[in-house]
Structure 1
């Protein structure tokens, strides 16, 4: 990023921060002199912890695809920028999993590592989520999570060996600069998984189905005031449909609807029987009931929609414009029962924010 562009981005960010946090003009002027001098001298500047916290929280507030933004100000921030070795980085990641899981009482959390410097990544976390199941292509079809097939192969090239089951937890993979990436197994006692069962029906037969407690996104870029934090894993808690209507239900994922329908004795010969709808409801009931049984934070899509309505009202009262991506905000079940279904949203992107980044796995054959 050119110095002038970075100066503009930094000034805009700091102006909003100092105004929103009620700081004085003198405080802003002092800090701006420091930032501008650093950019002119070095081509970058470093955020204070206060700036890091504010930026990460506002990035959540600005996230167009997130229905759970009501809780943006509750995000806890761990500053991992001082981590410089593999052991230190992995320790931060393990701590993130432990703190965020919190014995099931999920805490919104982000761990922020060293940012991109002059266009070069200093730390890369290769996982899509810190907790994620492996996917294997076998002669008998895909075993596990099909979304993880490419990353599973990458882990295997690094030397990792899974058990070949449908729910093998993948290791964490980290790369420092241009060094060879390394992996670490996640200690089993840090991983909280929930057996999924319906309270009234045996919907899976002889299949044992489970899912992990907390979704920790780890491959997105956090942009704050022109600075790119390309390794900044973060989490909220699950909305039930993310698991029950997508992860476990999608034909391209675990594809459990035919199994559920068979167990319930539904007529699957034609679509007008709405067997998919019945199976989908049962699967989502099982997810919500199971998480509740084990004391794990989760929210149903109707409650989440009402929480988003409150978020919109709060933003409006604070004089802020709510942006959003309609196709992501509207839940995949009973969308027409939510207020978002009938409402257009402005999908304009503002910063700070979280952005997708292209992740092309490096060729590690020559490094092993």
Structure 2
């Protein structure tokens, strides 16, 4: 299978980049596989593979910019300090002065036996903790269990709604390690509304950089279980989902009250109105601070442009419709009225079973979006 995957990827790489001597490279790779059970991608192959994995990501609406992804080669990293340095460098470079840059740091690949040399425990490098106090949850409920894990490892949070969790990782099957992120590397935006002063009393804020850190990057049959990557936020990810969902920060009732809406009657349209103003506050706040963010209408337009660009090159865009269509005003966008084939292409990003969570992965084994590491 590895021979087949390597052949398909290298053929694609040499074809799209107009290179010669494919047969020579394939011979080298086949020999390496026979000797070691795996092979090493060249830096050019790694860069191309990471970019195409983004291009092929079925659930991402922001793929128009796939060629702009910058790749940091961390395949030789093997110590605590090296991991820490690589993460800090990633955050610093990708965040910049607020003009977010798409960036990926690729750590060592799995062994031929399927053992991961390094796994991050965080779903994203920057997440807010959650604490249960007096029957209520302070912070992000989605991180409640993981916060307990961090506390059990010796981390001490401040107990606020926006405590940044530590970065937790482990080498192979060794004891997990963690480090905290310096405040200057975690750019945050205070969420304020330009028209409703009462909204600002909610004291909301969000981080500028969504670095996904628990997915597997697959290139030519080689699995990279630790390859944190980022683009920039789409406004509804923060406003509608992180703040709006009832099982997350659940801010809609508070937003509605802050802007003077009646939430006591049978009419539930206050939710729609509050959601619009919440997203508007997120967008205007990021814009005011000069931090990159896309609105859902803009993202939809860009995705349709991406489809047209790919079509001209003879490539069909695969997409998961339920993920591509934004949670707000979906029917006003062309993506809502477009059907997609949802075939998984390679290279790509896949979900993995969380290292820290004992879960039954059997039902997910048939899911095309999942790859499981042995550790």
Distance in 1, matches of 2:264 and 2:27, equals 71
The residue number in structure 1 matching 2:273 is 278
- C-alpha distance after superposition, 1:104-133 (max 9, x if no partner): 010000000001102001011111111110
Distance in 2, matches of 1:271 and 1:59, equals 47
Q: Once the 2 structures are TM-superposed, how far is the Cα of residue 284 of structure 1 from its aligned partner?
A: 0.4
Distance in 2, matches of 1:83 and 1:360, equals 20
Q: Once the 2 structures are TM-superposed, how far is the Cα of residue 201 of structure 1 from its aligned partner?
A: 0.4
Q: Once the 2 structures are TM-superposed, how far is the Cα of residue 76 of structure 1 from its aligned partner?
A: 0.2
Q: Does 1:100 align with 2:94?
A: yes
Q: How does 1:3-152 map to 2 (within 5 A)?
A: 5-24=1-20, 27-117=21-111, 118-152=113-147
Q: Does 1:153 align with 2:148?
A: yes
The count of aligned residue pairs is 357
Range that drifts further, 305-314 or 204-213? 204-213
Q: Once the 2 structures are TM-superposed, how far is the Cα of residue 360 of structure 1 from its aligned partner?
A: 3.4
The residue number in structure 2 matching 1:366 is none
Match of 1:337 among 319, 324, 332: 332
Distance in 1, matches of 2:317 and 2:265, equals 42
The residue number in structure 1 matching 2:369 is none
| Conserved 8 A contact 1:197-1:203 | no
Distance in 2, matches of 1:281 and 1:58, equals 34
Counterpart secondary structure, 2:199: coil
Q: Once the 2 structures are TM-superposed, how far is the Cα of residue 136 of structure 1 from its aligned partner?
A: 1.3
Q: Does 1:357 align with 2:352?
A: yes
The residue number in structure 2 matching 1:256 is 251
Range that drifts further, 353-362 or 326-335? 353-362
| Conserved 8 A contact 1:129-1:218 | yes
Distance in 2, matches of 1:215 and 1:362, equals 22
Match of 1:190 among 168, 185, 190: 185
Q: Specify whether residues 362 and 85 from structure 1 end up closer, same or farther in structure 2 by C-alpha distance, changes over 3 A only.
A: farther
Range that drifts further, 266-275 or 328-337? 266-275
Q: Specify whether residues 301 and 205 from structure 1 end up closer, same or farther in structure 2 by C-alpha distance, changes over 3 A only.
A: closer
Match of 2:232 among 232, 237, 251: 237
Match of 2:242 among 244, 247, 259: 247
- C-alpha distance after superposition, 1:199-219 (max 9, x if no partner): 010353633110000100000
Unaligned ranges ≥5, structure 1? 364-368
| Conserved 8 A contact 1:288-1:300 | yes
Match of 2:169 among 159, 174, 183: 174
| Conserved 8 A contact 1:86-1:174 | no
Counterpart secondary structure, 1:355: strand
Q: Once the 2 structures are TM-superposed, how far is the Cα of residue 137 of structure 1 from its aligned partner?
A: 1.8
RMSD over aligned Cα atoms: 1.2
| Conserved 8 A contact 1:195-1:208 | yes
Distance in 2, matches of 1:121 and 1:305, equals 36
Q: Specify whether residues 40 and 161 from structure 1 end up closer, same or farther in structure 2 by C-alpha distance, changes over 3 A only.
A: same
Q: How does 1:299-338 map to 2 (within 5 A)?
A: 299-338=294-333
